[in-house]
Amino acid sequence: MIVEFIDAHREEHGVEPICEQLQVAPSTYYAAKTRRPSARSVTDAATTAVIEKVHAENFGVYGARKIHAQLHRQGHQVARCTVQRLMRTAGLQGLSRAKGPRTTVPGSGPDLRPDLVERAFTATGPDQLWVADITYCRTFAGWVYAAFVIDVYSRRVVGWQLSKSLRTDLALDALEMGIWTRRRVGRDVGGLIHHSDKGVQYVAVRYTQRLAEAGAVASVGSTGDSYDNALAEAFNSLFKAELVRNRGPWRSIDELEIAVAEYIDWFNHRRLHGEIGLIPPAEHEDDFYRHNPAATTVAASVPSLH
């Protein structure tokens, strides 16, 4: 630190005057300048460069745990405490989450859909349980709303859509993408449980009819608080922290839509998820089908989304 300080100010004040003020012998400074870097400092510099690259490639959101896991996936055998130390020195850290306004508007009339989940967000394979929710994003042109459908087993976002309004089509388009995504690769979505909150978009006739056509069973949180759809709420929190606030501000829905497409691709195929063993959702699903080759599929003849 002393050598760095002297280097930063030597042109203005000179080495000897600075050393005098710091009560350091000039010979000590010159010896440190000519000393060969230690093996540890060389290794630290190389490892820090790799850490900075991994951090930047993952939206700048990874903390030490996920940086450490990603380094090991890439063949870099380094201790987690070393990662923590080097990240601290380099000023790198993960992101924290925060909350914002409400997007759930209860539907009118009685909701007869049962709560088939009862806050137990677990599944033994893909397409057994999907959760759906809507969140909001601020742009210079006004509010933008985002609907997501997530597979509970893998944490994969199977469907999503953005809109300038909280219309039924917003949620329905995200559901259609989820159904299309799965059927496109020959997966059967019949029999899956689709869980949501009490939002009016999810109780709409067109939405419930589409679930029935796909062979899915509708489920809704019974008590109407955030814990009833906790997994979807957790994704929204990540999405807001890792993309909306981290990469904003946003000029328009068009700019945000491009960014969301890039984020979902990263989230599904490269982001490490602690809940599934620090691997990406797509890899978790591939592992499942590799170990369960007899898992049900349907014919992969799927019409276009449009």
Q: Kindly report, residue by residue over 16-59, the tens digit of the pLDDT.
A: 898 888 888 888 888 887 777 778 888 888 999 999 999 999 99
Q: What pLDDT was estimated at residue 88?
A: 92
Q: What is the pLDDT of residues 276-285, one digit of tens each?
A: 999 999 999 9
Give the CA distances from residue 38 to residues 35, 45, 134, in Å, rounded to whole numbers and listed in that order: 9, 11, 53
Burial environment of residue 213 by CB neighbours within 10 A (0 to 12, 13 to 18, 19 or more): exposed
For the chain, domain boundaries:
1-90, 129-291
Q: Which of 255, 53, 229 is nearest to 131 (CA)?
A: 229
Looking at the chain, the number of H-run helices and the number of E-run strands are: 13, 5
Q: Which of 115, 181, 125 is nearest to 152 (CA)?
A: 125
| Distance of alpha carbon 109 from the chain centroid | 35
Q: What is the pLDDT of residues 89-107, one digit of tens each?
A: 899 988 866 554 444 444 4
Judging by DSSP bridges, how do beta strands 217-220 and 193-196 pair with one another?
A: parallel
| Distance of alpha carbon 52 from the chain centroid | 19
pTM of the model: 0.77
Q: Give dist(CA 274, CA 15) in Å, integer.
A: 50
Q: Give dist(CA 245, CA 51) in Å, integer.
A: 22
Both tokens assigned to 107: 């539907």
CATH code that applies to domain 129-291: 3.30.420.10
CB 171 within 8 A of CB 142: no
Give the CA distances from residue 240 to residues 48, 136, 243, 261, in Å, rounded to whole numbers and listed in that order: 28, 9, 6, 14
Q: Which parts of the chain sit beneath pLDDT 70? A: 1, 96-113, 222-227, 296-306
Q: What pLDDT was estimated at residue 112?
A: 54
Q: What pLDDT was estimated at residue 253?
A: 95
For the CA atoms of the chain, what is the radius of gyration? Answer: 25
CB 202 within 8 A of CB 171: yes
Identity of residue 248: G
